[in-house]
Amino acid sequence: MAGKKVGVLALQGDVSEHVNAFSTALGGGGEVVEVRSAADLAGCDALAIPGGESTTIARLIAEKGMRDAILSFEGGIFATCAGMVLVASTIDDARVEPLGIVDIAVERNAFGRQRDSFEADIEVTGLASPFHAVFIRAPIAAAAGPGVEVLAEIPRGIVAVRQGKHIALSFHPELSGDLRLHRLFLERL
């Protein structure tokens, strides 16, 4: 993990929480930068796409001309909540044009409104003990393509996947204080 440079898409959402989580996960052996333009991706080994409002983040990506830069990015992508919506191949909302980076079909706000947010201990492939997951107006993956490894499911659907260097999570690991998923992601870069 030493020497890795992680960019955090800093257009909207829980940016500072991702910056802090990755800074801690890297243990001082790497660098975390905020990405506000396509040029900011230069030299990054990874990009975190944080939770927030997926329609707003998608609009800002388009307005700032970042779509092509993200699509051609060769590093790993760590997508949480709204980020999972954005990296999906298909979503259930025509207002958001997905990036199609991870072969999943996603339902936005699958658990309902803000008041329906919840926390749960879930089993995640690759982790020795359950992960305390924070779900806030969370999506789910209703389906995953053949090249996608499902890392975690709950009765409602798929909540964590990995495809190549990319990880997409419907919950917010940056809010849990548990950095195992960040480290699992960084180990594959």
Q: Give residue limits of the domains in the chain.
A: 5-187
Residue 44 annotated to the active site? no
- Choosing from 18, 153, 166, 172, the catalytic residue is 172
Residues 6 or more apart whose CB falls under 8 angstroms from that of 39 comprise none
Vertex 79 angle, CA 74 and 83, to 5°: 115
Distances (CA, A) of 189 to 64, 75, 76, 84, 184: 27, 7, 6, 19, 10
Q: For residue 21, what are its two tokens?
A: 């989580």
Query: How far from each other are the two terminal CA atoms of the chain, in whole angstroms?
Result: 8
Q: For residue 44, what are its two tokens?
A: 């990054």
For position 185, what pLDDT does the model report? 97
Residue 172 annotated to the active site? yes
How distant is the alpha carbon of residue 7 from its chain centre?
12
Asked if residues 121 and 138 have their Cβ atoms less than 8 Å apart, the reply is: no
Strands 157-163, 149-154: pairing is antiparallel
For position 2, what pLDDT does the model report? 66
- Choosing from 17, 81, 107, 182, the catalytic residue is 81
Distances (CA, A) of 97 to 105, 114, 143, 156: 13, 23, 18, 24
Give which of 36, 102, 30 is closest to 65, Cα–Cα.
36
Q: Which residues pair with 158 in a beta bridge?
A: 141, 153
Q: Determine how many CB atoms are found less than 10 A away from the CB of residue 24.
A: 15
Residue type, 27: G
How do the pLDDT tens digits run along the chain, 189 residues long?
Answer: 568 999 999 999 999 999 999 999 998 789 999 999 999 999 999 999 999 999 999 999 999 999 999 999 999 999 999 999 999 999 998 888 999 999 999 999 887 777 778 999 999 999 999 999 999 989 999 999 999 999 999 999 999 999 999 999 999 999 999 999 999 999 999
For position 94, what pLDDT does the model report? 85
Longest dimension (CA), the chain: 42
DSSP 10: -
CATH 3.40.50.2300 fits 5-187, yes or no: no
pTM (whole model) above 0.85: yes
Q: For residue 30, what are its two tokens?
A: 């790497």
For position 1, what pLDDT does the model report? 58
